[in-house]
Every structure is written in structure tokens, then in C-alpha cells.
Structure 1
Amino acid sequence: MPLDDAPATRVPLADVTPAIALGPLDGRYRPAVAPLVDHLSEAALNRARVEVEVEWVIHLTSHAVVPGAPELAPDEQQYLRDVVATFGADEVAELAEIERTTVHDVKAVEYFLKRRLAAAPDALRADTVLPRVNELVHFALTSEDVNNLSYALMVRGAVSQVWFPAAVELADEVAALAAEHAAVPMLALTHGQPATPTTLGKELAVLAHRLRRQLRRIASDEYLGKLNGATGTYGAHLAAVPDADWQVVSRTFVEHLGLTWNPLTTQIESHDWQAELYADVARYNRVLHNLATDVWTYISRGVFTQIPVAGATGSSTMPHKVNPIRFENAEANLEISCALLDTLASTLVTSRLQRDLTDSTTQRNIGPAFGHSLLAIDNVRRGLRALSVDTAMLARELDANWEVLGEAVQSAMRAASVAGVAGMDNPYERLKELTRGQRLTADDMRAFVDSLGLPQDVTERLRNLSPGSYTGLAASLVAHLE
């Protein structure tokens, strides 16, 4: 059958109602990422545009920027802000209908808001001045004035209200696991080989510390905005109202929105703040990816056992399996998120001369970038909650690797040599000969220690040492997370 000939009897899935999602974030994984819709969807973008336009009208009238413009009464300001507050399914549909005519999304928002001003006498009161400020909607603005502020508000809301709290909760849960298992000894593996023992808690604390450091960077990131016209010169502003201090008007408006004012731009806000934020979020993702792969390895090694979910299937053919699917899913989602964030960060910092439109399409993928990260966070949190530590296995593994005490013994010999004890020559080489590629028992190690001629107190200290107690300050280091 030719590749382009689908069976005629097939139901076209594109015509099914309700509509079937093309991507997994709006389909299979919708429950985990739904909160981002309120901030990073197309509807959220249009609502943010309406908010910027509304606040601009209020700002112009409140500060008497345009001569002859009436000052809005409190109920009139509230009427305008209610347009934003009540923005929902009907308004989304209305804007879509207007845009089919304008073929321009920001112009559709302008016309949408002007309809609300025209309807104000019927909805509010007959003598309202709102119809008179009709031409202050989108006054002296370019679409990018609206869009850059809208995206800054959207991304700030998505980060502060959805992504960041989830990321913090995950880091806190890892920190809590670290505290719980601070003193649980564990054989370390460097280069995949048995190495100086550590504690499970200390290793988890390293990851929690790394995650929290990235969160501190993200918490300090700025969200910039600009309002200065078609090429960043305030040309239209001065032409219309030459006596206004437009830089002050612009700065105070951007700061009123809770953003940092960018005084020097082309037509677009330069998006550097976005690149900085996305790089930091991607770095958090990569640390979390490291956590996912480490935990996966610990599960494979037997450090963690997974608590089976009643009724769940691990393998379609092997009924004994409980697969680490949460951590594997997290890996994949983090990789997709980082790929998108890296692309956003590298693309958005470049604009051809005073303006190109590559950012228009690029920024519409901010939602998927954060969505896959948020989904990964959910994956890992659910995976961590289904883990149990096999302390008996850890003890067996440690007891099978007495050769890891070679480091401790040769270090004690070095210290004794410096103190003037005879017979401590070539400590590293002697321990290497004894231990490299060998499996030693407790008796083997203690016999070697007894043969060295170390001072009695040092001999006793080393004889009392075991792989399970050779963890240094690991347990107490977890306190650095507090």
C-alpha cells in the first residue's frame, strides 16, 4: 500500500470532539502541567496583552500625560481591570473572531478593548468618560511594547507561582531525605569502582545543595520590560505630546507592572533577561537530571527498593519487575526541556537590526519548555516517595569491601612517618600491593595493621575501623543544608 494512502474506513482523529491534543503536555500529562496554562498559553498571552493595554490607559489618565484626557474615577478603573479579571472562554473566542479579520493578534486586542469602552455606558453608568478615552488604547505603542511586557508578566507569573514553588518543594524533599539518612553508611563508587565509604544522606545532601544554589540564582533573576515605540526612540510619543517626559512615563509604567525598566532597546526588548533565566532553569534541570540518573543507579544497585503500587505493571512479560519509570521519564522530560530552553536562550538574544519576527514563534514555546521541566519535577517527587532504603544490603556491600580501608591505613602511616615512627616507608605502595585488585576480609586488614609497628593507639584506632564506620564527617556535613 502506498505510504500516503490511509484506509478509507479510518475515522479522522483530527475531527474528533473534544479535540485530541497533538502533544503529550496537553494530552497524557495534562494534569501535571495544567497550572502553567494560566500563564504560558496563547489565551494567557492575550489576557496579559489586555492587562498591559488596560494599565496603559489608566496610567496615561492618572498622570495627565495626554492633554485633555479625562481622569478615570475609581469605578471606571475597576471596570477596565475587571475586563482582565473576567477574561475567560467567551473572551478567548471573541478575540479569535476579531483576529480572523485583523490577521494581527495585538490589533485584535486593541479592538477587543475598544468594544469594552464603547459598552461602558450600558454596563457601568450613562455618564462614564470611558468612551472618550477610546484612542488612548494602544496610544503611541508598537506591538512589541505590548508583547514584551506581556511575556515578562507571563513568565514571571509562571515561575513565581507554579514552577519555582514545585522546584523548591522537590529540593526540600531531597534535603529531608538527606537528613533522614545522614548517618546511613554506604559504599561509594568512583569511576564505578569501590571507593572511600560515605553516607547515603551526605550524597543526597550534595544534590539538594546544588538544586538550592540554582534556585537562589533563579530567585534573583530580573524580568525586564520596555515601552519606547517602533524603534526605541519615543518618536511617536514626542510627535503626539512633545511636552511629556516620556522616559519617566515609560519607566514608571514598567515599574508599576513590577518589572525592571530597560531604557535602551531597538523595537524589541532585547530578551537578554530571558536568556539568563532560561540558562539558570536549564542548569537546575541538569542537576535534577543528575539526581535522576544517580537514584536510578542506586535502585539498580539495590540501595533503594521501590514500593510496588497495587495493580501496577512493571513489565508486560516479566511480572517480578518494578521499573524506575518515574526517574526515566524525568530524564527524558528534562532533556527535552533543556533543549527548548537552550534554543530559546540562544535565539532570543539575536534580532536582525532593529527587529525581526523570529522571537514571535520562539516565545510561543516557552510553555512547553517549562512544562517538560515541571513534569520532570513531578516525576521525581513521585518517584522519591516510592523508595525505601535497604540498609541490610548496604551493610553487606560494605562488609564485602574491606580493601577500601587502604586509604585510611596508608594515610595513618604517612602521619606516623612524619611523627618519626620507623618502618613507615612507602605507605602508598605497600597498601597498593596489598589491596589493588584484591578482595580483603576484616581479618586480612587487621593482620596487616598489626604487622606495621604503628603506635598502639593508632593500631587500635585502625583495628576498630570498618568500612561501615569509615565515613569521616559525612553525617555531620548534611547539617550544611539547614
Structure 2
Amino acid sequence: MADSALLRVELAATSHGEASSLSLGPLDGRYREAVAPLVDYLSEAALNRDRVHVEVEWLIHLTRQGVLPGAGQLEPAQEETLRDIVLSFDTASVAELADIEKVTVHDVKAVEYFIGRRLAGLGIEHLKPLVHFGCTSEDINNLSYALGVKGAVERVWLPAAKDLVTHIGELARSFRGMAMLSRTHGQPATPTTLGKEMAVVAHRLSRQLKRIEQTDYLGKMNGATGTYAAHYASVPAADWQQVSRSFVEGLGLAWNPLTTQIESHDWQAELYADLARFNRILHNFCTDVWSYISIGYFVQVPVAGATGSSTMPHKVNPIRFENAEANLEISSSLLDVLGATLVTSRWQRDLTDSSSQRNIGVAFGHSLLAISNVVKGLGRLDVAPLALAADLEANWEVLGEAIQMVMRAEAIAGVPGLADPYERLKELTRGQRVDAVRMQEFVGGLGLSREAEQRLLSMTPASYTGIAEQLVDHLG
């Protein structure tokens, strides 16, 4: 009885368009608001709308091309009314399709019948045989998925990812000159600037975005095994390759001339690999920011009324970055599975791709949710310059690299008494702290040229950042 009651609550919430706490997946429950823009491209309803769109455009294309003798041309008003079937696609349309599919037990066939029902009202019932003409379901599905993924990438995911990279780039410029201790292998190392480290991340992510922007979204329209056999059997005089190519390209996709029953999905695997790589770079950024928070380089701005810990009221936990890490891991794993599965198919066709592609929206959703969390997390951070400065001041031994390199350069220039510079600095600094006084005493006793000695004596950990500040300019 309890299960039935819960199910009724879930169905009631769904019927009102609400995100229920009874959803099996968090993207359709707790995090619905963050991923809602993807629904218009990667949901089941969006897939069905795009199927209707492809079928309608194929009918219009066949009449415009004059492929089938006797079909005639559609009037502009008839074309417009046909396209209104797509524009007016709504919850009632979804329900009608579901009812048809209960009978057909085939989703694409249901779409064909859905459109066929509407032709009589347009005065073109005689064109009913043109709906789905020469098509296998995969002709419709591959184009519909390509349109959905393309829309999701270009109109939802990419804008969000670009905003994030812009935000990181702005931080890089704002803190380009703020010296910060590096930590290679987790140990104090040659200083850098906070801005330069942010710029590295922005640059890495930007490269992935450029790759994603160059994605070719491929599509095919060539029949049951990619041979146009039914097309030429029915209308042998037509140039079916030209008809197919112009149709696919007219949808804004790239034409794939060589396929089996399915479009091979290689473009999807390529895209998902790039998306997963973006995710993993962002994950690396999250773990670094989390670590900087833990050592006090960043201070989190408390949110009024929020609770950091149920028992420790002083805590402000880095939950945005932790949440992002988890969602990036889930997204990347799903993208990896999709990429590996979609490029394989038994002989000319099996249905593993069909089941796999139903999870595309989930993979995108977890990535989009992570991006949203990182942006929110960065918006609640303040840099702690005093903490950065104190860390630098406590680690004068990092100047050992600079001193031994100057000694090498001086030795090559003929200054005597500068043998074994690395070993001498190793003896002075390895595994022990060296303060400013001890380091300057060491420099003063080396016998360097006056210019080199003064250069080193004026150097501090905070000033030993090379051209880190200038490197930020590579962001453009």
C-alpha cells in the first residue's frame, strides 16, 4: 500500500510538471532546475518532437524535389501547416504518440501514424504514402538524435561552459600579479601567481571548447542497410544520393555517405571524448580549489541562513566543488561508456546503440549540473592575500633554485669558487626551513659578481615568480 501511495504522489507531481522527490534520478528531482534547459533537446519528448520534425521535413523535401511522379508540389500554406505539427508539439502530442505506440509497439512507426492522421485536414491525404517513404527507423532516429545533441551542445552546454571559462579567465586577470607558493608533489616549490594558475586552467578548458565547437554532426538517409535499395526499386530515375545529401545538409547536419542500417556514431564518440576531457580538466580544477580552500588561500563567503555542518556551526564546507566533482565523475563515466558502445554494431545493425543513446541526456545533465556548481562555488570565494603572503614568507628555501642557477651562470662566465652549486644548495635547504637572514648570509658568502649578488639579495619568495604575470596575456 505504501508503494502505491508513493506512486500516486509521483504521478500527480509529474502531471503538474513538478520535480518530485520520488524521482529515481536526481536530475529529474533534486537538480531539475539546473538541468531543465536540456529537456528541450535530450528528453524523450524532445526526441519524439524531432522525429516528427524529420518526418515532416522529409515529406516536404520529397515534394519539393519532385522525386515521385504524381506527388505534385505542396502549397506554401500546406508546408507551413505541416510544420505547425512540430511547432505545436505539446504534452497532448506526447500522450497521443504514447497511445499509438501501445498499439504499434514501435516508437518511430507511431510517429508515422501520428503525422498521417493530420494529412486529411490539410487536404493532402493522398500524400500519406510519402510519410516515411524509403525510410528505415534509423534514418529518422539518427537525424533526430543528431539534431537533439547539436541543439543541446550549441544552445545549452557550450554557453554554460563558456561562461565558466570566462569566469575563470576573469579571475586569472584579476590576480595575475598575486604571488603564490607552488606545491609540486604537495611540497613547497618555485612560486607562481594565482592568476597564472587560473590562466592555465582557462587555457586548457578553452582548447577543449574549440574542439567541441568544431564537431561535425553527421546524419544519413539511405534505407535499411545503407544501399538505397528500396529507393531505386521504387523510383529508379531519381538521384537518391543527391536527394539524401541535400536533405541531411538542409537540416544543418553533415552528410555521411557510407553507413550500414545505422549512422556509425563515430562523431558522437569523438564529441563525448572531448566532453569527458573537459569534465576531467574541470574536475582537476575543483580538487585544486578545494585544496586551496583547505590551506586558507581562499575564504568561502557564508550564505545567510545556510548550515555548513549539522553539529559544527563554524564550518563553511566547499560543497559546491565536492558536488561538482561527483557529477563530473558520473558524467565522464557515462560519456566513456557511450563512446565505447556507440562505435560498435553487430554486422549491419543491433539495438545496443538505441538503448545507450537514451542516456545521452543524463551524461549531459551531470556535466551541466557540475558547471553550475563550480560557477556558484567560485562566486562565493574570496582570496586571502595575507595567507598567501605568509606561506611565501615561511618558505625562503624555494629560492634555492634561483641561487644555484645564478651560480651556474656565474661559473660559466668565469667567476671562480662556484663549483657544485646544486649540492651546496641541497645541503643548505633540503628537508629544512631557511629564513631570509640565513639565505642572504649564504648568498653573501658565495663570491658572486656584484650585479648577481645584488639581484639575489633583493629577491624574495614573493618576487620570484618569473614572468608568471605576463603569461596570463596568452588568454587573449
Give the alignment's TM-score, normalised by structure 2: 0.97
Q: Which amino acid aligns with 1:111?
A: Y
CA deviation after TM superposition for structure 1 residue 52, in Å: 0.3
Q: Which whole-Å CA distance do the structure 2 matches of 1:10 and 1:243 have between them? A: 61
Q: Secondary structure at the match of 1:351?
A: coil
**How big is each residue's C-alpha offset from its partner over 1:298-344, in whole Å with a ceiling of 9 and x where there is no partner?**
10011100000000000000000000000000000000000100000
Q: Which whole-Å CA distance do the structure 1 matches of 2:13 and 2:106 have between them? A: 27
Q: Which whole-Å CA distance do the structure 1 matches of 2:3 and 2:136 have between them? A: 47
**How big is each residue's C-alpha offset from its partner over 1:352-397, in whole Å with a ceiling of 9 and x where there is no partner?**
0010011111000000000000000001000000000000011111
Which residue matches 2:7? 14
Q: Which whole-Å CA distance do the structure 2 matches of 1:266 and 1:49 have between them? A: 20
1:98 is aligned to 2:100: yes
Q: Which amino acid aligns with 1:33?
A: V
Q: Which whole-Å CA distance do the structure 1 matches of 2:396 and 2:7 have between them? A: 64
Q: Secondary structure at the match of 2:307?
A: coil
Which residue matches 1:124? none
1:152 is aligned to 2:136: no
Q: Secondary structure at the match of 2:176?
A: coil
Which residue matches 2:90? 88
CA deviation after TM superposition for structure 1 residue 22, in Å: 1.3
1:354 is aligned to 2:356: no
1:254 is aligned to 2:256: no
Structure 2 unaligned blocks of 5 or more:
15-21
Would the aligned equivalents of 1:70 and 1:133 in 2 still touch at CA under 8 Å? no
Which residue matches 2:265? 271
CA deviation after TM superposition for structure 1 residue 200, in Å: 0.4
Q: Which whole-Å CA distance do the structure 1 matches of 2:3 and 2:229 have between them? A: 58
Which residue matches 2:321? 327
**How big is each residue's C-alpha offset from its partner over 1:391-415, in whole Å with a ceiling of 9 and x where there is no partner?**
0011111000000000000000000
Which residue matches 1:125? none
Q: Which whole-Å CA distance do the structure 1 matches of 2:162 and 2:448 have between them? A: 50
Which residue matches 2:54? 52
Match of 1:27 among 26, 29, 33: 29
Q: Which whole-Å CA distance do the structure 2 matches of 1:271 and 1:184 have between them? A: 46
Q: Which whole-Å CA distance do the structure 2 matches of 1:15 and 1:383 have between them? A: 37
Which residue matches 1:108? 110
CA deviation after TM superposition for structure 1 residue 9, in Å: 6.1
**How big is each residue's C-alpha offset from its partner over 1:393-444, in whole Å with a ceiling of 9 and x where there is no partner?**
1111100000000000000000000000001100000000000011111110
Q: Which whole-Å CA distance do the structure 1 matches of 2:359 and 2:4 have between them? A: 30
**How big is each residue's C-alpha offset from its partner over 1:110-164, in whole Å with a ceiling of 9 and x where there is no partner?**
00001111222xxxxxxx4x22211100001000000000000000000000001
**How big is each residue's C-alpha offset from its partner over 1:189-246, in whole Å with a ceiling of 9 and x where there is no partner?**
0000000000000001000000000000000111000011001110110111010010
Q: Which amino acid aligns with 2:319?
A: I
Q: Which whole-Å CA distance do the structure 1 matches of 2:23 and 2:74 have between them? A: 44
Would the aligned equivalents of 1:95 and 1:112 in 2 still touch at CA under 8 Å? yes
Would the aligned equivalents of 1:117 and 1:131 in 2 still touch at CA under 8 Å? yes
Which residue matches 2:411? 417
Match of 1:431 among 416, 425, 434: 425
Alignment of 1:37-436 (within 5 A): 37-120=39-122, 128=123, 130-436=124-430
Q: Which whole-Å CA distance do the structure 2 matches of 1:405 and 1:140 have between them? A: 74
- Identity across matched positions, percent: 66
Q: Which amino acid aligns with 2:136?
A: T
CA RMSD across the alignment = 0.9
Q: Which whole-Å CA distance do the structure 2 matches of 1:39 and 1:80 have between them? A: 21
1:460 is aligned to 2:454: yes
Q: Which whole-Å CA distance do the structure 2 matches of 1:402 and 1:432 have between them? A: 13
Q: Which whole-Å CA distance do the structure 1 matches of 2:443 and 2:4 have between them? A: 78
1:441 is aligned to 2:441: no
Work out the number of aligned pairs and report it. Answer: 467
**How big is each residue's C-alpha offset from its partner over 1:254-301, in whole Å with a ceiling of 9 and x where there is no partner?**
010111111111000000000000000000000000110010001001
Q: Which whole-Å CA distance do the structure 2 matches of 1:333 and 1:310 have between them? A: 26
Q: Secondary structure at the match of 2:13?
A: coil
Q: Which amino acid aligns with 1:18?
A: A
CA deviation after TM superposition for structure 1 residue 33, in Å: 0.1
Which residue matches 1:123? none
Would the aligned equivalents of 1:449 and 1:463 in 2 still touch at CA under 8 Å? yes
Q: Secondary structure at the match of 1:305?
A: strand
Q: Which whole-Å CA distance do the structure 1 matches of 2:380 and 2:116 have between them? A: 54
After superposing the two structures, state which structure 1 stretch, 382-391 or 111-120, moved more. Answer: 111-120
**How big is each residue's C-alpha offset from its partner over 1:141-188, in whole Å with a ceiling of 9 and x where there is no partner?**
000000000000000000000001100110110000000000000000
Give the alignment's TM-score, normalised by structure 1: 0.96
Q: Which amino acid aligns with 2:415?
A: V
CA deviation after TM superposition for structure 1 residue 70, in Å: 1.4
Q: Which whole-Å CA distance do the structure 2 matches of 1:40 and 1:364 have between them? A: 8
1:479 is aligned to 2:452: no
Q: Which whole-Å CA distance do the structure 2 matches of 1:277 and 1:471 have between them? A: 37
